[in-house]
Chains A and B, each alone.
Chain A
Amino acid sequence: MTKTITRADLTEAVYQEVGLSRNESAQLVESVLEEISACLTTGESVKVSSFGSFSVRHKRARMGRNPKTGEEVPINPRRVLVFRPSHVLKEQINKSLSKPATIG
Protein backbone atom coordinates (compact mmCIF):
# COMPACT_ATOMS: atom_id res chain seq x y z
CA MET A 1 0.00 0.00 0.00
CA THR A 2 1.15 3.51 -0.60
CA LYS A 3 1.95 5.79 2.28
CA THR A 4 1.83 9.54 2.48
CA ILE A 5 4.94 11.37 3.53
CA THR A 6 4.37 14.64 5.35
CA ARG A 7 6.38 17.38 7.01
CA ALA A 8 6.65 15.20 10.09
CA ASP A 9 8.52 12.54 8.09
CA LEU A 10 10.86 15.12 6.57
CA THR A 11 11.48 16.54 10.03
CA GLU A 12 12.26 13.07 11.36
CA ALA A 13 14.68 12.44 8.47
CA VAL A 14 16.48 15.72 9.11
CA TYR A 15 16.54 15.00 12.83
CA GLN A 16 18.10 11.57 12.26
CA GLU A 17 20.54 12.79 9.67
CA VAL A 18 21.81 16.07 11.06
CA GLY A 19 21.47 15.80 14.82
CA LEU A 20 19.64 19.04 15.52
CA SER A 21 16.69 18.99 17.90
CA ARG A 22 13.35 17.86 16.51
CA ASN A 23 12.05 21.34 16.98
CA GLU A 24 14.85 22.93 15.06
CA SER A 25 14.64 20.25 12.37
CA ALA A 26 10.97 21.09 11.90
CA GLN A 27 11.81 24.76 11.64
CA LEU A 28 14.43 24.10 9.01
CA VAL A 29 12.14 21.96 6.90
CA GLU A 30 9.72 24.86 7.03
CA SER A 31 12.45 27.37 6.11
CA VAL A 32 13.47 25.32 3.09
CA LEU A 33 9.89 25.23 1.81
CA GLU A 34 9.49 28.90 2.60
CA GLU A 35 12.65 29.96 0.74
CA ILE A 36 11.51 28.00 -2.29
CA SER A 37 7.99 29.45 -2.13
CA ALA A 38 9.25 33.00 -1.65
CA CYS A 39 11.56 32.68 -4.62
CA LEU A 40 8.81 31.30 -6.83
CA THR A 41 6.46 34.05 -5.73
CA THR A 42 8.83 36.60 -7.22
CA GLY A 43 8.56 34.73 -10.50
CA GLU A 44 12.03 33.25 -10.35
CA SER A 45 12.40 29.53 -10.95
CA VAL A 46 14.05 27.11 -8.55
CA LYS A 47 16.34 24.38 -9.83
CA VAL A 48 17.48 21.49 -7.71
CA SER A 49 20.00 19.37 -9.52
CA SER A 50 19.14 15.69 -9.83
CA PHE A 51 15.67 16.42 -8.47
CA GLY A 52 13.95 18.82 -10.82
CA SER A 53 12.99 22.41 -11.38
CA PHE A 54 10.02 24.51 -10.39
CA SER A 55 9.09 27.37 -12.62
CA VAL A 56 6.30 29.89 -12.87
CA ARG A 57 4.25 30.11 -16.00
CA HIS A 58 1.92 32.93 -16.96
CA LYS A 59 -1.51 32.01 -18.23
CA ARG A 60 -3.55 34.43 -20.26
CA ALA A 61 -7.19 35.23 -19.61
CA ARG A 62 -9.57 32.96 -21.46
CA MET A 63 -13.20 31.98 -21.54
CA GLY A 64 -13.94 28.80 -19.68
CA ARG A 65 -17.11 26.86 -19.36
CA ASN A 66 -18.77 25.38 -16.34
CA PRO A 67 -18.91 21.76 -17.44
CA LYS A 68 -22.00 21.12 -15.37
CA THR A 69 -24.14 24.02 -16.50
CA GLY A 70 -22.52 24.84 -19.84
CA GLU A 71 -22.30 28.43 -18.69
CA GLU A 72 -19.38 30.53 -19.96
CA VAL A 73 -17.13 31.91 -17.23
CA PRO A 74 -14.18 34.22 -17.74
CA ILE A 75 -10.90 32.85 -16.39
CA ASN A 76 -8.58 35.60 -15.23
CA PRO A 77 -4.92 35.70 -16.18
CA ARG A 78 -2.95 33.89 -13.53
CA ARG A 79 0.40 32.39 -12.68
CA VAL A 80 0.82 28.68 -12.27
CA LEU A 81 3.66 26.62 -10.93
CA VAL A 82 5.07 23.80 -13.00
CA PHE A 83 7.45 21.14 -11.82
CA ARG A 84 9.75 19.44 -14.30
CA PRO A 85 11.37 16.36 -12.85
CA SER A 86 15.01 15.86 -13.71
CA HIS A 87 16.13 12.89 -15.77
CA VAL A 88 17.91 11.54 -12.74
CA LEU A 89 14.70 11.52 -10.70
CA LYS A 90 12.68 9.98 -13.52
CA GLU A 91 15.23 7.25 -14.04
CA GLN A 92 15.48 6.60 -10.32
CA ILE A 93 11.71 6.17 -10.05
CA ASN A 94 11.45 3.97 -13.11
CA LYS A 95 14.31 1.80 -12.03
CA SER A 96 12.75 1.07 -8.69
CA LEU A 97 9.17 0.69 -9.91
CA SER A 98 9.46 -1.17 -13.18
CA LYS A 99 8.85 -4.87 -12.92
CA PRO A 100 11.75 -7.03 -14.06
CA ALA A 101 9.68 -8.52 -16.88
CA THR A 102 8.61 -5.80 -19.27
CA ILE A 103 7.30 -6.09 -22.77
CA GLY A 104 10.21 -5.80 -25.12
Chain B
Amino acid sequence: MIKSELIARLAEANPHLYQRDIERIVSTIFDKVAGALCKSDRVELRGFGSFSVKRRPARIGRNPRTGEAVSVAEKHLPFFKTGKELRKRLNTRQDDT
Protein backbone atom coordinates (compact mmCIF):
# COMPACT_ATOMS: atom_id res chain seq x y z
CA MET B 1 0.00 0.00 0.00
CA ILE B 2 1.35 3.41 -0.88
CA LYS B 3 0.36 6.77 0.51
CA SER B 4 -2.27 7.46 -2.16
CA GLU B 5 -3.88 4.08 -1.48
CA LEU B 6 -3.89 4.80 2.23
CA ILE B 7 -5.65 8.08 1.50
CA ALA B 8 -8.16 6.30 -0.74
CA ARG B 9 -8.96 3.76 1.97
CA LEU B 10 -9.44 6.48 4.55
CA ALA B 11 -11.62 8.44 2.15
CA GLU B 12 -13.82 5.42 1.68
CA ALA B 13 -14.18 4.96 5.43
CA ASN B 14 -14.89 8.68 5.95
CA PRO B 15 -17.24 9.73 3.15
CA HIS B 16 -18.17 12.93 5.01
CA LEU B 17 -14.66 14.33 4.57
CA TYR B 18 -13.07 15.88 1.51
CA GLN B 19 -10.29 13.85 -0.03
CA ARG B 20 -8.19 17.01 0.22
CA ASP B 21 -8.62 17.04 3.99
CA ILE B 22 -7.63 13.42 4.28
CA GLU B 23 -4.50 14.12 2.28
CA ARG B 24 -3.68 16.91 4.69
CA ILE B 25 -4.33 14.71 7.72
CA VAL B 26 -2.00 12.01 6.46
CA SER B 27 0.72 14.48 5.51
CA THR B 28 0.39 16.30 8.82
CA ILE B 29 0.91 13.09 10.74
CA PHE B 30 4.03 12.05 8.83
CA ASP B 31 5.39 15.61 8.84
CA LYS B 32 4.91 15.81 12.58
CA VAL B 33 6.77 12.52 13.11
CA ALA B 34 9.57 13.60 10.77
CA GLY B 35 9.76 17.00 12.43
CA ALA B 36 10.09 15.43 15.85
CA LEU B 37 12.87 13.14 14.66
CA CYS B 38 14.68 16.15 13.23
CA LYS B 39 14.85 17.50 16.77
CA SER B 40 15.96 14.11 18.04
CA ASP B 41 12.62 13.72 19.85
CA ARG B 42 11.06 10.35 20.28
CA VAL B 43 7.63 9.52 18.90
CA GLU B 44 5.72 6.95 20.86
CA LEU B 45 2.49 5.57 19.51
CA ARG B 46 1.28 2.93 21.94
CA GLY B 47 0.17 -0.24 20.27
CA PHE B 48 1.76 0.79 17.00
CA GLY B 49 5.39 1.48 17.71
CA SER B 50 7.91 4.14 18.46
CA PHE B 51 10.33 6.15 16.38
CA SER B 52 13.62 7.40 17.70
CA VAL B 53 16.89 8.69 16.37
CA LYS B 54 20.16 6.90 16.94
CA ARG B 55 23.47 8.62 16.70
CA ARG B 56 26.38 7.00 14.92
CA PRO B 57 29.62 8.68 15.93
CA ALA B 58 32.19 9.78 13.38
CA ARG B 59 34.63 7.01 12.54
CA ILE B 60 37.46 6.12 10.27
CA GLY B 61 36.09 3.82 7.63
CA ARG B 62 37.84 2.00 4.89
CA ASN B 63 37.14 1.84 1.20
CA PRO B 64 36.69 -1.90 0.87
CA ARG B 65 37.99 -1.88 -2.68
CA THR B 66 41.15 0.11 -2.21
CA GLY B 67 41.73 -0.35 1.52
CA GLU B 68 42.12 3.38 1.79
CA ALA B 69 41.12 4.99 5.09
CA VAL B 70 38.25 7.47 4.82
CA SER B 71 36.78 9.53 7.59
CA VAL B 72 33.05 9.05 7.97
CA ALA B 73 31.20 11.92 9.62
CA GLU B 74 28.80 11.51 12.50
CA LYS B 75 25.38 10.32 11.40
CA HIS B 76 21.89 10.17 12.82
CA LEU B 77 19.56 7.39 11.81
CA PRO B 78 15.83 7.14 12.35
CA PHE B 79 14.81 3.93 14.00
CA PHE B 80 11.46 2.21 14.48
CA LYS B 81 10.54 -0.28 17.12
CA THR B 82 7.29 -2.18 16.66
CA GLY B 83 4.81 -1.85 19.50
CA LYS B 84 3.75 -4.85 21.53
CA GLU B 85 0.21 -4.96 20.26
CA LEU B 86 1.14 -4.71 16.59
CA ARG B 87 3.86 -7.31 17.05
CA LYS B 88 1.25 -9.61 18.50
CA ARG B 89 -1.18 -8.89 15.67
CA LEU B 90 1.45 -9.74 13.08
CA ASN B 91 1.75 -13.15 14.62
CA THR B 92 -1.85 -14.14 15.07
CA ARG B 93 -4.14 -15.56 12.42
CA GLN B 94 -5.19 -12.95 9.94
CA ASP B 95 -8.93 -13.27 10.36
CA ASP B 96 -9.08 -11.13 13.47
CA THR B 97 -9.02 -7.36 13.31
Interface size range of chain B in the complex: 35 or more
- Checking B2, B30, B43, B86 against A5 with a beta-carbon cut-off of 8 angstroms, the contacting residue is B43
The smallest beta-carbon distance between A86 and chain B, in angstroms, is 9
Contacts of A29 in B (CB 8 A): 25, 29
CB-nearest residue of chain A to B16:
A24
For A42, the chain B residues whose CB sits under 8 A away are 94
Lowest 6 A-B CB distances belong to which pairs?
Answer: A83-B80, A96-B38, A5-B43, A81-B82, A5-B36, A85-B78
30 A-B pairs (CB sep. < 8 Å): A2-B39, A3-B39, A4-B44, A5-B32, A5-B42, A6-B44, A13-B29, A17-B25, A28-B25, A32-B26, A33-B47, A35-B9, A39-B1, A40-B90, A42-B94, A48-B30, A51-B34, A52-B78, A80-B90, A81-B87, A81-B90, A82-B80, A83-B80, A85-B78, A93-B76, A94-B76, A97-B40, A97-B53, A98-B74, A102-B74
User: Which B residues form the contact surface with A (CB < 8 A)?
Assistant: 1-3, 6, 9-10, 13-14, 17, 21-22, 24-26, 28-34, 36-49, 51, 53, 58, 71, 73-80, 82, 86-87, 89-91, 94, 97
